[in-house]
Structure 1
Amino acid sequence: MKFIFMGEKDKPVIVFIHGMFCNSDSNKHFVKYLKDNYCIIMPTLDGHCGDETIYTTKEEQAKKILEYIKNKGIKDIALLQGSSMGAQVALEMVNQSDIHIKNVFLDGGPFFKFPKLFRFIMYKKFVAMVKMIQKETDIKVIRNDIIHNKFLKLLIGKDTKPYEELLSEMCIVCNSMKLESIKNIIETCYNCTLPEFHSDISNRITFFFGKEELAHMSKRRLIKKYPNSIFRDMEGFKHLGYQTRQPMEYAKILKDTID
C-alpha cells in the first residue's frame, strides 16, 4: 500500500479511498479544490500500486490505513470519503476505528450480498476486461477498447468522454493486476456483510449515489440497516458520475459536509 500525504496535520484531515482498478490519482480532479485548506491523505490500496502486492480483504486494507493514520499522530478525521469499492473499505474503517471520525461520505458503494454464482460471473467479466488491457501496451489503444466495452458502458453510461482520464489511470493499474486480487475485489464488492453501528455513528454517514447507477440498487438494503444515516441521490448520473462530471461542485458538497 502506498500513501500520498498533503498539507499540515493541524488542518482538518480528509481521507480519500479510491475504487476498484483505480489509485489515489483517481481523486485528483476534485481534490485540487480542497488541498489548500485541508490535510489530505490518499492511500493506494494493495493490488493497485503497480507492484507485486495483492488486494486481500477490506478488513486488512482498513487496518493498514488506520495504522498509517495513527503513526502520523492524527487523532481526528474531519471527513472519510470512499468511492465505489473504496466506500466499502471506508465503512470497515469506521467499524474498526478508535480514531474519531466526524463525517463519512460514501459515493457509489456497491453494498451488495449476491450468491456465489453471480460473484463468479462478475469475476469472469472483470478478468476478461483486465486480460484485454494487459494484451496491449499503448494506453490510448487500450482506453479506446475499454470505452467501447458494453459492460463498462452499463456502469458509466454512453457518454464516456468525462471518464477518459480516469480510464487511462485504470489501464495503468490493471496492467499489473493479479487474478487473486480480482477474486478478492469481487468478494468485497458483491459479498458485503454490513457492520453494526450505534445510531450516533450511523447518523454521521452519508450514502451518495447517482440515481442511474447500478450500485443505487443497494440503497434499500442500506436504509433498512442504517435508517439514521443520510441518503442523497443525484438525478441523471451513473457510477461516480457527479464527482467525475462536476468535480468543483462535488468538492463543495464535501466541504459543506465537513462544515
Structure 2
Amino acid sequence: MKFHEFGDKLNPHIMLIHGGGNAWWNFLRQGRVLSEKYHVIIPTMDGHGEEYETPYVSTEATADKLMKYINAECDGKLFALCGVSLGGQIVIELLSRKADLTEKAIIDGTVCYPTPFMKTYCIWTAKLMGPLLFGKKASERLLKQMDKMTPEKMHYPQEIKDYYMEDMPRTPKETLYTMYKTYMNYNLKESLRDTKAEVMYWYGQKEMKCVKESAQLFESYVPSCKIYEAKGYNHGHLAIYLPDEWLELAYDFFGN
C-alpha cells in the first residue's frame, strides 16, 4: 500500500480512500484543495494503481494496514475519513475498529451487507467481458465512451486521464474477482455502534437498491448518521467526476 500526502503534517489529518478498480487519483483534485487547510492522505490500495503487484486481500486486511499507518503517522486520530464505493466500506470497517478514530466520516455509495447475487453477477461479468474491460485499448475505449455519455462537467481533465491510462490497463483481473467476493460479502460489526464520529452516508439518486438499503441499515447502527441523496446522480459521481460539488458538501459538513 502506498500513501500520497498533501499539505502540512501539523494540520488536522484527512484520509480519502478510493473505490475498487481505480486508484489514489480518484481523490487527487479534492486532496489538493483540502491540503490548503488539512494534511491529506490518499492511499493506493493493494492490487490497484502502482500497487498492482501486491495482491488485494479484503476490506478487513486493507483496514489493518490503514490502522497501522494512522497509529504511526497520525497519533491514532484523524479529523475526517472519507471513502467511495469499496473505499466507503473500508471507512465503515475503520469506524468499527476504534470509537474515537475520527471526528467526521463520509461514506459514499457503499454496500454494507451481503449481496450474493450481485457478487456472482459482477465476478462473471468481469470474466466474460474481460477483453472489453482490460488492457490499453479497452481503457482508451472506455475513456472515450465516458466523454460521450456524460456532461462536460463530468469529464476527466487530461492529468487524470493520463493516470487512468497508466493504471487501469495493469490492474490484475484477480484484484477485481477478490474485491467483488469480499466487498459483497461484508457484514457490519456490532462495535460500529460505539463510534463517536459524525457520519454522513451519501448515495446517488440512481444508485442500486442495495446501496440505498445499506444507508438505512448503517443508520440503524449509527442513528446520528445523516443520509444524503445526490439528485440525478449515479454511483460515485460526486467523488469521482464532480470534485467541486463533493468539496462544497464536504466543507459544509466539516464546518468550514
**TM-score band (shorter)?**
0.7 to 0.9
Shift of 1:91: 1.0
Shift of 1:65: 1.2
Q: State the match for 1:241 in structure 2.
A: 237
Q: Which residue number corresponds to residue 28 of structure 2? A: 28
Distance 1:92 1:199 in 2: 12
Task: Give the counterpart letter for 1:230 in structure 2.
Answer: K
| Cα-to-partner distance string for 1:185-231 (whole Å, 9 max, x where unaligned) | 11233112012246552662211111112233433333334333221
Moved more, 105-114 or 39-48: 105-114
Distance 2:181 2:131 in 1: 19
Aligned to 1:155: none
- Matched residue SS, 2:203: strand
How far apart are 1:113 and its partner, in Å? 1.3
Could you say if the C-alpha distance between residues 160 and 19 of structure 1 is closer, same or farther in structure 2, counting changes exceeding 3 Å? farther
> For the Cα contact (< 8 Å) 1:107–1:208, is it kept in 2?
yes
Q: Tell me what 2:89 maps to.
A: 88
Is the Cα contact below 8 Å between 1:77 and 1:100 reproduced in 2? yes
Please give the per-residue CA displacement for 1:209-256, whole angstroms capped at 9, x wherever unaligned.
Answer: 111122334333333343332211121111122334542232132222
2:132 paired residue number: 132
What secondary structure, in the 3-state scheme, does the structure 1 residue paired with 2:15 have? Answer: strand
C-alpha RMSD of the superposition: 2.7
Note closer, same or farther for the CA distance 1:255–1:55 as it changes in structure 2 (3 Å cut): same
| Superposition pairs of residues 157-236 of structure 1, within 5 angstroms | 158-159=149-150, 161=152, 162-164=154-156, 169-170=163-164, 172-197=166-191, 199=193, 201=195, 204-214=198-208, 215-236=211-232
Q: CA shift at 1:181, angstroms?
A: 1.7
Q: Secondary structure at the match of 1:55?
A: coil
Change (3 A) 1:122 1:181: same
Correspondence 1:107 to 2:108: yes
Cα distance, 1:146–1:132 mapped onto 2, change above 3 Å: farther
What is the deviation of 1:170? 4.8
- Matched residues in 2 for 1:199 and 1:97: separation? 11
Q: Distance in 1 between matches of 2:126 and 2:163?
A: 16
Shift of 1:58: 0.7
Structure 1 residues 168 and 8: CA distance shift in structure 2, 3 A: closer
SS of alignment partner, residue 14 of structure 2: strand
Tell me, in whole angstroms, the C-alpha distance in 1 between the residues paired with 2:162 and 2:15: 23
Give percent identity, aligned residues only: 20
Name stretches of at least 5 consecutive residues in structure 2 with no aligned partner.
none
SS at match of 1:30: helix
Q: TM-score, normalised by structure 1?
A: 0.83
Is residue 1 of structure 2 the alignment partner of residue 7 of structure 1? no
1:64: which partner in 2?
A: 65
Assess, with a 3 A threshold, how the Cα gap between structure 1 residues 55 and 93 changes in structure 2: closer, same or farther: same
Q: In structure 2, what is the Cα distance between the partners aligned to 1:31 and 1:234?
A: 21
Q: What count of residue pairs does the alignment treat as equivalent?
A: 249
Aligned-residue offset at 1:20: 0.8
